[in-house]
Amino acid sequence: MVEQYYTTQLSAGLGLREETKGLFELWQPGMNTQQLCDVALESGSFPNVTARRLRNIVAECFFPRYLRNEGVAQQVKELLPILSTSEMSQVFYLYTARANFILAEFVKDVYWQKYASGYQSIHVDDSKAFVELGLQDGKMKKSWSDTTIKRVSSYILGCLVDYGFLEVHNRSERRLIPPRISDHIAVYLAYELHFSGLGDNAVINHPDWQLFGLNPDDVREELKALAVNRHWIIQAAGDVVQISWAYKNMEEVINVVA
């Protein structure tokens, strides 16, 4: 497994929901980042974004989230027109967390732990302490200054505000408003993991589910509930799970979600 490090990449853009949606409307299969930048600049769809800023969004945000792995952008582009606003946010959140290890770790180790412990909010100092701990544990390739630590701490919280996981309460606190993973996104994620080559138990135990606060037991129950809609047949005996998958490819999955 490739070792992952915390980076400052969130400084290039947080949730970027509307910008991402706009870029997907323009992106076509085969486009690289430069071509997408050129099309976006010529389109007039981003009148309040400078050319430099738009290039930064495409190269530092859109590319690592959706173009680094083959097939992702095409799937998301086909999915977006049929999703609700909240479901769209969950898809963007999933790929942003995958591309930003620091965000994924914060959600798993701090956000959901706070929620499970009965807290109603997260303090900005919680985020700062998390980043500082990461520095102590060697999760950055090089040391970060206090200013960088403070900025990245705020970016993490800001990103979760953008995706509807937090609400600004006051200057120092963000209220927890954890969304439940939608049925459509659960089906999409399960099949995406399945078609990536994972076995049934590996799908159930994949860390991506933790981004939505689900442990393996939760995932099993979620998939059992969704089996009623004939997305799959699931049999579980103890920790061993066997799934008979109903769809042959992601195109079929997206058609069913629609």
pLDDT, tens only, 143-198: 999 999 999 999 999 999 999 999 998 888 999 999 999 999 999 999 999 999 99
Average pLDDT, the chain: 93
- 164 shares its domain with 198: no
What's the rounded mean pLDDT across residues 245-249?
95
Per residue in 198-217, pLDDT (tens digit) is 999 999 999 999 999 999 99
Pairwise CA distance, residues 163 & 173, whole Å: 17
Q: How confident is the model at residue 2 (pLDDT cuts 50, 70, 90)?
A: low
- 108 shares its domain with 147: yes
Residue 211 lies in a domain: yes
- 168 shares its domain with 188: no
- 230 shares its domain with 193: yes
Question: Which percentage of the chain shows pLDDT scores above 90?
Answer: 82
Q: Is the pLDDT of residue 1 over 90?
A: no
What's the rounded mean pLDDT across residues 101-127?
96
- 119 shares its domain with 157: yes
Residue 61 lies in a domain: no
- 168 shares its domain with 224: no
Q: How confident is the model at residue 239 (pLDDT cuts 50, 70, 90)?
A: confident
Q: How many angstroms separate the Cα of 114 from the Cα of each of 166, 210, 222?
A: 12, 14, 22
What's the rounded mean pLDDT across residues 109-125?
95
- Where a domain ends, among 117, 150, 176? 176
- 245 shares its domain with 188: yes
- Where a domain ends, among 114, 141, 176? 176
For residue 181, give the DSSP letter. Answer: P
- Does residue 149 contact residue 135 with C-beta atoms inside 8 Å? yes
State the alpha helices, DSSP H only, in the chain.
Answer: 17-26, 33-43, 51-57, 72-79, 85-99, 101-106, 112-116, 124-136, 146-162, 183-195, 200-204, 216-226, 250-257
Residue 85 lies in a domain: no
**In this predicted structure, what is the pLDDT of residue 164?**
95
What is the pTM assigned to this prediction? Answer: 0.93
Q: Which residues contact 32 (CB under 8 A, 6 or more apart)?
A: 67
Q: Is the pLDDT of residue 131 over 90?
A: yes
What's the rounded mean pLDDT across residues 55-72?
92
If one counts the domains in the chain, the total is 2
Pairwise CA distance, residues 142 & 137, whole Å: 12
Q: How many angstroms separate the Cα of 164 from the Cα of each of 36, 54, 85, 159, 251?
A: 28, 24, 11, 9, 28
Question: Which domain, by its residues, includes 126?
Answer: 99-176
- Where a domain ends, among 116, 150, 176? 176
Q: How many angstroms separate the Cα of 89 from the Cα of each of 57, 124, 178, 219?
A: 17, 23, 13, 20
What's the rounded mean pLDDT across residues 111-117?
96
Chain Cα centroid distance, residue 243: 25
SS3 assignment, position 171: coil
- 113 shares its domain with 169: yes
- 195 shares its domain with 171: no
Residue 205 lies in a domain: yes
Residue 243 lies in a domain: yes
Residue 157 lies in a domain: yes
Q: Is the pLDDT of residue 138 over 70?
A: yes
For the domain that residue 158 is a member of, what is the CATH number?
1.10.10
At 178, give phi and psi (nearest 5°): -65, 125
Pairwise CA distance, residues 255 & 82, whole Å: 9
Cα distance between the two ends of the chain: 35
- 147 shares its domain with 212: no
Residue 236 lies in a domain: yes
Please give the residue that has the higher pLDDT: either 162 or 258.
162
Residue 103 lies in a domain: yes
Pairwise CA distance, residues 166 & 163, whole Å: 8
**In this predicted structure, what is the pLDDT of residue 171?**
83
Residue corresponding to tokens 């399945």? 194
